[in-house]
Amino acid sequence: MPSTRHTALAVGAPRTYATEKRNAISKPTFIMVDNTGLRGAHTAAMSATVMTDVNAQFVPGELAGFTITNVTTGNAAVITANTVNTITVAAIVGNFNTGDTYTISGVGDRTITIRDHFLPAITNGVPAPVAQDIDRLTFTVVVTGCVSLRDELADIKILGDLRVYADAIDPNCLITVAWAHE
Amino acid sequence: MLELKPQPLATVSPPVPKILQEGFFVRFTDQWPLTLPHVKGKTFQVEKTNQVPYDLSYIIPANDYRDVDLSNAVGGENIYPENTKTLYQTLIGFHPGNYLVHFYIPAGEYVHRLEQAGMVPNVAHATLRYLGARKPEDSPHTDKRIFAYAVKDLEPLILRVFVDNGVGFCKAILSLLVNKCYLKEITPTAEQFAKALKIDYYSSLRW
């Protein structure tokens, strides 16, 4: 059973996890939403403006506007830019020292929705069908929270594309979805 | 030419093949029309076979239907042979869902009806929609029980796939196994004639 993990996208451009399979119905079998934020440690030399974490896998540019907190010193600053493993701030009190741990907080509670997207067949009653978006399940994950669902998904059937979206784009909210076909 | 095989009451050993095999005999009754001279009243031996699976699926809103034409007509699904020496033995199974299937051949002519006037399938009627309707559990895709036989130029067999009330949309998945049989005409012995699978013309289903 395949699964993938992505950051949360909003309703305007929801993430498609499984595309429609002609001869089967898709079923989400597991979903985990990690809204606890990103964390790690500064691995470079001391800096007041650039935090470097060689182990990070940030999406370049995605973190601008979020807040990074130096957990070791307790100081925070707003992110102005980021690469795959660096984060730039205007300046942070107390600097980033080698080995300091950091967190990047989620911006808030996230409401997650599992959506079924499909184009119906031409039928007697609807000779020119239009694409349908049917929300099958919605739940909220509080900021700093982590939720996983398995049994609750047992009766959800996806006729077309299995899509998942949040109430806002949030690179700190990670969504992992597994699915099967039947 | 269209039949629903009942569940077996007993198992036999060694098992009997479910579909036509090489060397099997088939005979078409004299009821077949003059417009189909390549099979009318003739007996054949199956020279070779090839099983071709194919799935059709339709997402249909509740209380609505789609007519699925298995023939090679425009808009059809092209599940009919083009060669006069070919017989398609098509097994039809259904994935689970909230839908019913009515059979028509040709279009507009019910396969399953009762004798009282008005006792015909009608998806627009609250009760007659269930008359003559096959449900997915009647022929599961894992154990197909509906057998249809098609030869070149046979009238279109129509499956009216109706999604019943109670759901927003339903994905009806029709799972087909087309057993392509290449036929060789024979003059049968009495034994061959007796062993041959009799294939009636669809008119024999209506009286």
Q: Other C-beta atoms within 10 Å of B127: how many?
A: 7
CA angle A149, A150, A152 (to 5 degrees): 80
Q: Does domain A3-35+107-181 have CATH number 2.60.120?
A: yes
Four-point Cα dihedral B134, B162, B154, B111, nearest 10: 50
DSSP SS3 for A10? strand
Report d(CA B10, CA A160) in Å as an integer.
40
- Mean pLDDT for A61-74 is 89
Nearest to A123 among B55, B61, B168 (CB): B61
Q: Do strands B197-199 and A146-149 pair parallel, antiparallel, or not at all (unpaired)?
A: unpaired
pLDDT tens by residue, B74-131: 999 999 999 999 999 999 999 999 999 999 999 888 989 899 999 999 999 999 999 9
Residue B15 scores a pLDDT above 80:
no
Q: For chain B, first and last CA: distance in Å?
A: 15
pLDDT at res. A119: 97
- Mean pLDDT for A2-16 is 79
Return phi, psi of residue A151, to 5°. -60, -35
User: For chain A, which residues make up each domain, given as ranges?
Assistant: 3-35+107-181, 38-104
Among all residues of chain B, which has the CA nearest to that of A116? B169
Query: Range of B193's domain?
Result: 2-205
CB contacts, 8 Å: A120 with chain B: 59-61, 169
pLDDT at res. A56: 86
Give the type of residue at B100: L
- Mean pLDDT for B19-42 is 95
pLDDT tier, A63 (very low <50, low <70, confident <90, very high otherwise)? confident
Determine contact: A155 vs chain B, CB below 8 A: no
Among all residues of chain B, which has the CA nearest to that of A136? B168
- Mean pLDDT for B175-196 is 96
Q: Which residues contact A40 (CB under 8 A, 6 or more apart)?
A: A53, A55, A56, A101, A102
Residue A72 scores a pLDDT above 80:
yes
- Mean pLDDT for B36-42 is 96
Read off the pTM.
Answer: 0.83
Determine contact: A126 vs chain B, CB below 8 A: yes
pLDDT at res. B6: 72
Residue B152 tokens read as 């070149």
Nearest to B182 by CA among B59, B58, B69, B82: B82
- Residue the block writes with tokens 């806002």: A168
Count the domains in chain B: 1
Counting beta carbons within 10 angstroms of the beta carbon of residue A58, is it exposed (0 to 12), middle (13 to 18) or buried (19 or more)?
buried
Report d(CA A77, CA B100) in Å as an integer.
62
Residue B204 scores a pLDDT above 90:
no
Chain B closest CA to A167's CA: distance in Å? 24
Residue A102 tokens read as 């950091």
- Residue the block writes with tokens 């907080």: A105
